[in-house]
Chain A
Amino acid sequence: MRNILTIAVKEIKQDFRDVRTLVFMLAFPLVLMLILGLALSNAFTNSVSLGEMKVLVKNSSSGVLSTAFETFTGEMKKSGIEFVSLKSGMNGVEEIRQNHYASYMELSDSGISLYGNNRSAIEGNVIQGMLQAFTDKYNAAAAVAKIEPAKVSQLFDTDSQSRSGYIKETSILANRQPGSMDYYALAMSVMVGLWGAMSAVRLIRSEITRGTAPRLAAAPVRRSEVFAGKVLGSIVQNFLCVLIVVLVSKFAFGAYWGEHLWLALLLLLTEVVMAVSLGLGVSYLFKGNASSGLIMLFVQLASFFGGAYFPVGDASGSSVTSYITRMSPIYWTNRALLEMVYKPSVSAAWPAISLNIGLAVLLLAVSAVLMRRKEGF
Chain B
Amino acid sequence: MNVLEIRGLTKKFGNFIAVDNMSLTIGEGEIFGFLGANGAGKSTTINMISSLLRPTSGEIKILDKDIAKMSRFAKLNLGIVPQDLAIYEDMTAYENVSFFGGLYGLRGAELKARTEEALEFVGLADKVKGYPKNFSGGMKRRLNIACALAHKPKLIIMDEPTVGIDPQSRNYILNSVRKLNEDGCTIIYTSHYMEEVEEICSRIAIVDHGKIIAEGTKEQLTATITDVKDIRIEVKSLVEVAEDQLRLIPGVRTVKLDDHEPVIRIHSDAAVDNLNRILKQLMDSGAEIRAVEEQEPNLETVFLTLTGRNLRD
**A225: nearest residue on chain B (CB-CB)?**
B103
Indicate if the CB atoms of A211 and B84 lie closer than 8 Å.
yes
Q: Which of A10, A14, A220, A375 contacts B52 (CB 8 A)?
A: A375
The answer to the question of B91 belonging to the interface, with a C-beta cut-off of 8 Å to chain A, is yes
Contact between chains at A18 and B90 (CB < 8 Å): yes
Given A6-B99, A13-B91, A375-B54, answer yes or no on A215-B86 (Cβ-Cβ < 8 Å): yes
Per the bound structure, the CA–CA distance linking A273 and B100 in Å amounts to 27
Cβ of A10 and Cβ of B50 under 8 Å apart?
A: no
Q: Which residues of A lie under 8 Å from residue B99 when comparing CB positions? A: 6, 10
Q: Is the CB of B91 within 8 A of A211?
A: no
Contact partner of B147 (CB less than 8 A), chosen from A7, A213, A215, is A215
Given contacts A6-B102, A218-B52, contact A212 B90 (CB under 8 A): no
Q: What 1/0 mask marks residues of chain B from 68 to 87 whose CB sits below 8 Å from any chain A CB?
A: 00011101101110101111
A194-251 contacts to B (CB < 8 Å): 210-221
Cβ-closest chain B residue relative to A206: B88
Which residue from A3, A6, A215 sits with its C-beta under 8 Å from B82?
Answer: A215
What sequence of 0s and 1s flags, for each residue 114-154 of chain B, a beta carbon within 8 Å of any chain A beta carbon? 00000000000000000000000000000000011000000
- B257 at interface (Cβ–Cβ under 8 A)? no
From the candidates B73, B78, B84, name the one contacting A218 in the complex (CB within 8 A): B78
Contact flags B227-257 to A (C-beta < 8 A → 1, else 0): 0000000000000000000000000000000
Interface of B is mostly: loop
Tell me whether A214 and B50 are in contact in the complex, defined as CB-CB below 8 angstroms, given that A219-B75, A220-B103 are known contacts.
yes
Is there contact, CB below 8 Å, between A215 and B100?
Answer: yes
Judged by a CB distance under 8 angstroms, whether B95 is at the interface is yes
Digitize A242-284: 1 where CB-to-B-CB distance is under 8 Å, 0 elsewhere: 0000000000000000000000000000000000000000000
Asked if residues B75 and A218 are in contact (CB atoms below 8 Å), the reply is: yes
- Size bracket of the A interface: 20 to 34
Does the CB pair B71–A220 fall under 8 Å? Answer: yes
The range of chain B's interface size is 20 to 34
Of all chain A residues, the one with the shortest Cβ separation from B67 is A218
- Neighbouring A residues of B95 by C-beta, 8 Å: 10, 13
Is A17 at the interface (CB under 8 A from chain B)?
A: yes
CB distance from A375 to the nearest CB of B (A): 5
With A6-B103, A220-B104, A375-B54 as known contacts, state yes or no: A214 contacts B80, CB within 8 Å: yes
* Residues of chain A within 8 A of B47, CB atoms compared: 214
Q: Does B196 contact A (CB under 8 A)?
A: no
Q: Is the Cβ of B91 less than 8 Å from the Cβ of A14?
A: yes
A13 to B92, CA, bound (A): 11
Q: State the CA gap A17–B131 with chains docked (Å).
A: 12
B49 vs chain A, min Cβ distance (A): 8
Interface residues of chain B, those whose CB is within 8 Å of chain A, are: 47, 50-54, 71-73, 75-76, 78-80, 82, 84-91, 95, 99-100, 102-105, 147-148
Report which A residues bind B (CB closer than 8 A): 3, 6-7, 10, 13-14, 17-18, 210-221, 375-376
For this complex, 9 residue pairs linking A to B, each with C-beta atoms less than 8 Å apart, are A7-B103, A10-B95, A13-B91, A17-B90, A211-B86, A213-B52, A215-B100, A215-B148, A218-B79
The 5 closest A-B pairs by CB, nearest first: A218-B50, A211-B84, A220-B75, A217-B52, A215-B86
